[in-house]
């Protein structure tokens, strides 16, 4: 049974908090790596395709001999998780970016933690929103708005693109809910490998309808190979493995609050490596994001599996 004990976060939980911050920092750095690959000529779907394909086979080699889940029902859950946390999420996000403003999409994707909370409250009766969590998320989302809009608060409504962005955020939130019960029965290696497989296999039609030949040729370039290996080994394998551990230990609600750090790290890495300008609005937004995430984690109840 999934029990909740009212107590301060123990020391060992702070290890997972630090791990969550590191993972989101790596995901934040993927913006720079992905931008380099796109500049070199790779398509967004091609980047996703090779990331998940390579990640699957690497985990297949090192994650044991177990291939199938314990039941058809669990296998179906893995398939749904692979679609929601893989192919569908990236397809919705990339399509939204192609028909809507980048600021719109980025801002709407930041609602993922809030959607995760709503789903947890509906699906799991042991979840609740503490004052610190609610206040922290509000502060963080204000910081995200400052970072994304950078002092120019302009929302250009694009109904289809904005709906797709919200659906992408919902897709990741539902993925977190599906993964949570699976962590009781399966290792994170098997879960991650399954997610990569079903994410990759369901992306095949989209990949072969695109300019896949160009993407394959580009793999011969050292800079393309280096950035793609970084996305595969760190952003995919290490981060998905770690995130599934965090969902198991901290729960989907607490883990989702760290996603607000994504635009924080994206902005920092863009400033450091892409030479983008740091403005007062960006700096204030980064401070608010850090403050919001800190407040949301303060005095949160410990959730542990029994």
Q: Looking at the predicted structure, is the pLDDT value of residue 306 above 50?
A: no
Six-digit token pair at 95? 């399509």
pLDDT digits (tens, 9 = 90+) for 233-273: 998 999 999 998 888 888 777 787 788 777 777 777 767 76
| Structure confidence by residue, pLDDT tens digits, 20-48 | 889 988 887 777 787 788 888 887 788 88
Contact status, residue 253 vs residue 109, Cβ threshold 8 Å: no
pLDDT digits (tens, 9 = 90+) for 195-247: 999 999 998 887 777 666 667 788 888 889 999 999 999 989 999 999 988 88
Give residue 204's pLDDT: 87
User: Of the candidates 118, 150, 95, which has an alpha carbon nearest to the alpha carbon of residue 263?
Assistant: 150
Q: Using CA atoms, how far apart are residues 120 and 133, in angstroms rounded to an integer?
A: 14
Which two tokens mark 78? 């893995």
In 3-state terms the chain splits into helix, strand, coil percentages (rounded to 5) of 75, 5, 20
Beta bridge mates, 3: 304
């Amino acid at each position: 049974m999934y029990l909740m004990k009212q107590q301060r976060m123990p020391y060992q939980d702070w290890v997972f908090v630090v791990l969550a911050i590191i993972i989101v920092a790596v995901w934040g750095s993927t913006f720079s790596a992905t931008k380099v690959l796109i500049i070199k000529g790779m398509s967004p779907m091609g980047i996703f395709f090779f990331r998940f394909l390579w990640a699957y086979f690497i985990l297949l080699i090192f994650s044991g001999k177990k291939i199938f889940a314990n039941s058809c029902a669990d296998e179906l859950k893995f398939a749904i998780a692979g679609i929601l946390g893989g192919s569908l999420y990236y397809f919705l996000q990339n399509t939204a970016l192609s028909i809507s403003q980048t600021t719109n999409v980025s801002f709407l994707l930041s609602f993922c933690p809030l959607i995760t909370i709503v789903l947890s409250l509906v699906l799991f009766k042991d979840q609740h929103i503490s004052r610190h969590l609610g206040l922290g998320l509000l502060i963080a989302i204000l910081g995200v708005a400052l970072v994304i809009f950078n002092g120019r608060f302009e929302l250009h409504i694009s109904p289809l693109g904005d709906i797709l962005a919200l659906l992408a955020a919902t897709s990741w939130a539902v993925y977190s809910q599906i993964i949570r019960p699976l962590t009781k029965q399966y290792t994170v290696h098997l879960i991650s490998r399954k997610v990569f497989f079903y994410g990759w296999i369901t992306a095949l039609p989209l990949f072969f309808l695109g300019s896949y030949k160009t993407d394959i040729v580009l793999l011969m370039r050292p800079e393309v190979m280096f950035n793609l290996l970084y996305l595969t080994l760190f952003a995919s394998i290490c981060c998905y493995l770690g995130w599934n551990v965090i969902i198991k230990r901290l729960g989907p609600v607490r883990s989702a609050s760290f996603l607000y750090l994504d635009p924080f790290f994206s902005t920092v890495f863009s400033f450091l490596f892409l030479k983008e300008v740091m403005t007062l609005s960006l700096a204030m937004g980064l401070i608010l994001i850090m403050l919001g995430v800190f407040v949301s984690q303060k005095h949160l109840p410990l959730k542990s599996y029994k």
